[in-house]
Amino acid sequence: MIRYFDLTRQYKQIKNDLQSAVISVLDGGAYVLGKEVTDFESKFAKYCQTKHAVGVSSGTAALHIALLAAGVVPNDEVITVPFTFIATVSSIIYAGAKPVFVDVHPDTLVMNVDKVRDKITQKTKAIVPVHLYGQMVDMGPLMQLASEFNLKVIEDASQAHGATQESRSAGSIGDFGCFSFYPGKNLGACGEGGAIVTNSSKLAELAKVYRDWGQEKRYYHKYLGFNYRMDAIQGAVLGVKLRFLDEWTQSRQRIANYYKRNLDADKIKSPITLNNNNHVYHIYTIRTLERERLQQRLYEHGVETNIHYPIPVHLQECMRCLGYKRGDYPIAEKAANEVLSLPIYPELTESEQADVISKVNKQFER
């Protein structure tokens, strides 16, 4: 069976480095924030071309804090997309705001920036573009619109570590960039983790206060904060793994190019990458009208696949209170019925890649 994802392969390659990093934290006796986290924060900020990074306990925590630090308060509206992982939208609701959706672009499946202007009202405070699958939203026109209406922009870069657009890094263009280090992400901790990056010293300080119970001075709680701190062990692990990230990204891109060249283009739609984007392929998603059958047949033939995502957020059961219905976001709804993610991790061997392709193509032979 070719697994959709297998982290043990990466672990074997960097086992010694990881183990000594973790053991030194255990020996040091300080387990939350501290030197390992600070060191990782400065390396990650540099990696993202920003002045500051703030390590937190998850990507969701990063989004939640970024929204609060951006000044989002109850009854504000925040514009985002319905075709994303649920955390993008849940964090807006945690901040007390109302998520307002714009549909995605039919080619790239990321935010259709042309449709944002129509959704801006007196109540709009921020926009959350999601760099879905590892490809960035068209940030130029989005930033222009944001500055015209004085809106904050919070990039959800949870799937786009190291992605660039005209040589600018994901997360560095908006007021904030939010990252997840969930183990399966392109840069993953050995547990949960996340980060906020920003060029504003003021906003970075505010994010640090929010992640640690809203205190500027110990036990003097100015804001209603959270326990969203990053573990020292995760800081140490991420510090080790960051050194390999570019190499891993290149492997993902090699695999994506191989898939693109060899999939039967008459029958299967490969992902479309805009020319100005350096896509990091967190996920490689093909589209077909016969998705269920293809997934089942591939599984029977030993290829595990995944669906990102089967139900757009506006139609999720827990979001019923928002009052959306089927047909409201037709591009997202159509994508949810057609997308299928193929295995794409840096350690996937060439023979496994060839196997994936031949099995996918074979299902379409008549």
CA–CA separation, 363 and 344 (whole Å): 19
- The minimum distance between CB 59 and ligand PLP, in angstroms, equals 2
- The nearer residue to ligand PLP, 195 or 294, going by C-beta atoms, is 195
- The minimum distance between CB 20 and ligand PLP, in angstroms, equals 26
DSSP structure class, residue 4: S
Q: Cα 343–346–352 angle (5° rounding)?
A: 50
Look at strands 220-221 and 215-217 and give their pairing. Answer: antiparallel
Look at strands 152-156 and 168-169 and give their pairing. Answer: unpaired
- The nearer residue to ligand PLP, 67 or 130, going by C-beta atoms, is 130
- The minimum distance between CB 351 and ligand PLP, in angstroms, equals 29
Look at strands 176-180 and 194-198 and give their pairing. Answer: antiparallel
Using DSSP, state whether 339 is helix, strand or coil.
strand
CA–CA separation, 235 and 173 (whole Å): 24
CA–CA separation, 167 and 276 (whole Å): 9
- The nearer residue to ligand PLP, 92 or 151, going by C-beta atoms, is 92
Residues in contact with ligand PLP by CB under 6 A are 58-60, 84-85, 87-88, 130, 156, 158-159, 180, 182, 192, 194
Residue showing the smallest CB distance to ligand PLP in the complex: 59
- The nearer residue to ligand PLP, 138 or 263, going by C-beta atoms, is 138
- The nearer residue to ligand PLP, 55 or 194, going by C-beta atoms, is 194
- The minimum distance between CB 33 and ligand PLP, in angstroms, equals 18
- The nearer residue to ligand PLP, 211 or 359, going by C-beta atoms, is 211
CA–CA separation, 159 and 179 (whole Å): 8
- The minimum distance between CB 265 and ligand PLP, in angstroms, equals 28
- The minimum distance between CB 10 and ligand PLP, in angstroms, equals 18
Where b means 16+ CB within 10 Å and e means fewer, 199-208 reads beeebbebbb
CA–CA separation, 30 and 279 (whole Å): 37
